[in-house]
Amino acid sequence: MRIPLLVILSLLVPVAALAGPDCRDLVITGHPSYPPVARSGDADVVFGIYRNDERMAYLDYVEPPFMVDPVSVVVRTGAAFPYARWSDLRGKKGVTNVGESYGDRFDAFLASELTVARAPGVDKVFAALLDGKADYAIIALYPGLNVARKLGIGGKVEFLPVPVVSADLFVAFSRKSRCLRALKDGFSGALEADVDGGKVKTLLEDADRAFAKR
């Protein structure tokens, strides 16, 4: 799902009042720019990211996750193939976004068992698929649907029904951020209350409906 700025600010701004003098600015980033700046510490907060062991070395994840994000196999319309398990992707050419991680288990399977190229952005992933350079694409369901709508290619691609994985989406602070100690605990508590109370779900659904009408 595309995470709009309104949702981010509605969750973070109330907690930002707790910041002290060491946390004067808050730099927030998200897909697709998080791979370079989350590691370097140029961004304080990454919004909408999967958790894996490598990232935990430089990111401090906020509990709880705010939603579950299914990851789909996407094909050209009319070019679907039977897919029920990871092994069904063997022998085919895939493409996915640069910097994406789908959890340690599937990342390892992808690296050792599959042939998957990386493209710089979901739009470029779709382009490679539609140009016939790949038999399938691996794309998170909600961002993929939104980008397909934006590009006007919804009728040219199919999202296969069985997800590759269904991963939790998190907010994470850079371990180098000066705002980590000041904000993380308060934000975690506020996020838990908003997730349990349905506020996050409502904000995301409203934002997705508004985006779909564009």
Considering the domain architecture, whether residues 75 and 126 belong to the same structural domain is answered as: yes
Share the mean pLDDT of the chain.
83
**Alpha-carbon gap, residue 184 to 180, rounded angstroms:** 5
63 and 84, same domain (yes or no) = no
Half-sphere exposure of residue 138, counting CA atoms within 13 Å on the CB side? 27
98 and 81, same domain (yes or no):
yes
Q: What CATH number is given to the structural domain containing 32? A: 3.40.190.10
16: alpha, beta or left? (left if phi > 0; alpha if psi -120 to 50): alpha
Same-domain pairing of 126 and 92: yes
In this structure, the answer to whether residues 134 and 116 fall within a common structural domain is yes
Residues 123 and 40 grouped into a single domain: no
DSSP character at residue 100: -
pLDDT on residue 33: 45
Give the pair of three-digit tokens for residue 66: 């705010």
What would the mean pLDDT of 154-175 be, rounded to a whole number?
91
pLDDT band of residue 190 (cuts 50, 70, 90) is confident
Q: Which residues of 104-117 are buried (b: 16+ CB within 10 A; e: fewer)?
A: eebbebbeeebebe
Asked if residue 86 and residue 16 are part of one domain, the reply reads no
Are residues 145 and 176 part of one domain? no
Residues of the chain with pLDDT > 70: what percent? 82
For the ranges 59-63, 82-86, 181-185, the maximum mean pLDDT occurs at: 82-86
3-state secondary structure of 172: strand
Q: In terms of domains, do 172 and 162 share one?
A: no
Instruction: Write out the residue range of the structural domain in which residue 73 sits.
Output: 69-166
Domain count, the chain: 2
Q: Are residues 84 and 158 in the same domain?
A: yes
- Determine the pLDDT at residue 106: 93
**Within this chain, do residues 77 and 130 fall inside the same structural domain, yes or no?**
yes
